[in-house]
Amino acid sequence: MIPVESRRDLRDFLTFTDDLYAGEERFVPPLHATVRGWHRRGVRLFLLRRGGRVVARTTLHTDAALDAKLGRETQLFGLTEFAEEAAEELFEAICAAGLAAGRKAAFGPVSLLPNQAGGVITSGFGERGFIDSAWNRPYYPAAYEAYGFSRRFESDTWICPVPEEPVFAFDDARIRAEELRVHRGDRRRVREQLPILREMLNTSFAQLGYYTEISAEQLAEQTDGLAYLLDEALLLYLTKAGRPIAFVLCLPDISSLVAEIRGNLHLLHQLRLLATRSRYRREAVLIIKGTIPDEQGHGYMRLLSRELHDGLRRGGYHTLRSTYVERDNPGSAAQFAAMGGRPLHGYTFYDKELA
């Protein structure tokens, strides 16, 4: 396995999935600009070649906050794609790198952290992938598990029809009595709204085993370009007596475009998206939602869900997909089931002790 150093190496890293998933419309690649940004920041990218042909790729990185959360020094790996015959050699190289660095375990694939992106789908291979989620060949789970990796944080993605009639009730008398106010996204004020969302996000998810606090820089990177993609009716947050307590963020699903352009959303393609974005207002992706811990259990997410689904209906959306939800989080799953939804992909991360 060799590090990505030259421009050719980086090009080969980015285009490897063009060959691996040739003719496969269900795979949605990461955006090239995101990967290039990580490379400039020093994230180590690696290629595995055989006879000059790329057969696998991965990143190798670490994160002190996740180490503290997991209670051990962990070798993280991500953007991990491989031809079936190259799996064992790739995993050997990942684990050897971790051992050489004194790491106690290998964990992934994460890009760059599990609360950002990554994962492997373990079922639902006939269903397409979508932005901020994974899709991979069916041999991936068997390859990881044959090498001794174990599943961690098993989850599901979900798909739901947008109900024609409201399915979430909330007593509107509480809105005035509790000084509740629903706020909507604003393209012109996204930079002002992001810190509010970040505070709620970190507070809401702090208790989850995989979650590490997201910094302002990380959130800015993850939401780069949000202003031009945002449907303002699909970014909502709730305040109670002026205090932010709950939020939900959905985005129009541009997966088909990203797959078509193979992740290369350069300027001309950005302009094309701007000019045709109405085409991508039929399906949406629920990126994240949450309620701060001391306000959970009071039905506030039902209020936001009611308003979200009203925005989806008014906007002409017919389908909502959700990024992965852990199977021990029945509250979120129950909301999807109430919409008539179903699990879409089985989802997991992989973990292996090294010492």
The CATH number that applies at residue 114 is 3.40.630.30
Backbone angles phi, psi at 167, to 5 degrees: -120, -10
Assigned token pair, 59 = 């990143």
Pair 113, 257 in one domain = no
Cα–Cα distances in Å, from 87 out to 55, 74, 91, 143, 295?
9, 20, 6, 6, 45
Pair 213, 311 in one domain = yes
Omega before residue 238 within 30° of 0, cis = no
**Residue pair 307/182 in contact by the 8 Å Cβ criterion:** yes
323 lies in some domain:
no
Which domain-ending residue is among 97, 129, 155? 155
84 lies in some domain:
yes
Q: Which amino acid is at 108?
A: G
51 lies in some domain:
yes
Bridge partners of 160, per DSSP, are 320
25 lies in some domain:
yes
Distance between CA 8 and CA 12 in Å, rounded? 6
160 lies in some domain:
no
349 lies in some domain:
no
106 lies in some domain:
yes
Q: What per-residue confidence (pLDDT) applies to 220?
A: 65
Pair 148, 234 in one domain = no
Q: What per-residue confidence (pLDDT) applies to 222?
A: 62
pTM above the 0.75 mark?
yes
Pair 142, 179 in one domain = no
Q: Which amino acid is at 93?
A: A
Q: What per-residue confidence (pLDDT) applies to 226?
A: 55
Pair 192, 231 in one domain = yes
- Could you give the number of structural domains in the chain? 2
Pair 187, 150 in one domain = no
Pair 186, 296 in one domain = yes
Label each residue of the chain as H, E or C. CEECCCHHHHHHHHHHHHHHCCCCCCCCCCCHHHHHHHHHCCCEEEEEEECCEEEEEEEEECCHHHHHHHCCCEEEEEEEEECHHHHHHHHHHHHHHHHHCCCCEEEECECCCCCCCECEECCCCCCCCCCCCCCCCCHHHHHHHHCCCEEEEEEEEEEEECCCCCCCCCCCHHHHHCCEEEEECCHHHHHHHHHHHHHHHHHHHCCCCCCCCCCHHHHHHHCCCHHHHCCHHHEEEEEECCEEEEEEEEEECCHHHHHHCCCCCCHHHHHHHHHHHHHHCCEEEEEEEEECHHHCCCCHHHHHHHHHHHHHHHHCCCEEEEEEEECCCHHHHHHHHHCCCEEEEEEEEEEEECC
Q: What per-residue confidence (pLDDT) applies to 199?
A: 87
**Ordered per-residue pLDDT tens for the chain, 355 residues:** 999 999 999 999 999 999 999 999 999 999 998 899 899 989 999 999 998 899 999 999 999 988 988 889 999 999 999 999 999 999 999 999 999 999 999 999 998 877 778 999 999 999 999 998 999 999 999 999 999 999 999 999 999 999 888 899 999 999 999 999 999 988 778 778 888 888 888 888 777 777 777 776 766 666 665 556 778 899 999 999 999 999 998 989 999 999 998 988 877 877 777 777 778 789 999 988 889 999 999 999 999 999 999 999 999 999 999 999 999 887 778 889 989 999 999 999 999 999 7
**Structural domain that includes position 80:** 2-155
